[in-house]
Amino acid sequence: MHGIIVCKMKNRVGVLNRLTGLLTRRNINIESAVITSISNNQLAIAEFKLQVADPQEREHLKRVIAKQLDVLSVEWRAKHSDTKLVSDIEKD
Residues in the site for another protein, rule: CB under 8 A? 13-14, 17-18, 21-22, 25, 56, 59-60, 63-64, 66-67, 69-70
**In the bound complex, what is the minimum distance in angstroms from residue 62's beta carbon to another protein?**
9
**In the bound complex, what is the minimum distance in angstroms from residue 23's beta carbon to another protein?**
11
**In the bound complex, what is the minimum distance in angstroms from residue 60's beta carbon to another protein?**
5
Q: Which residue number, 39 or 87, has a Cβ lying nearer to another protein?
A: 39
Task: Compute the distance between CA of residue 6 and CA of residue 77 in angstroms, rounded to an integer.
Answer: 7
Q: Which residue number, 17 or 40, has a Cβ lying nearer to another protein?
A: 17
Nearest-CA neighbor of 36 among 65, 9, 69, 67? 9
Q: Which residue number, 18 or 80, has a Cβ lying nearer to another protein?
A: 18
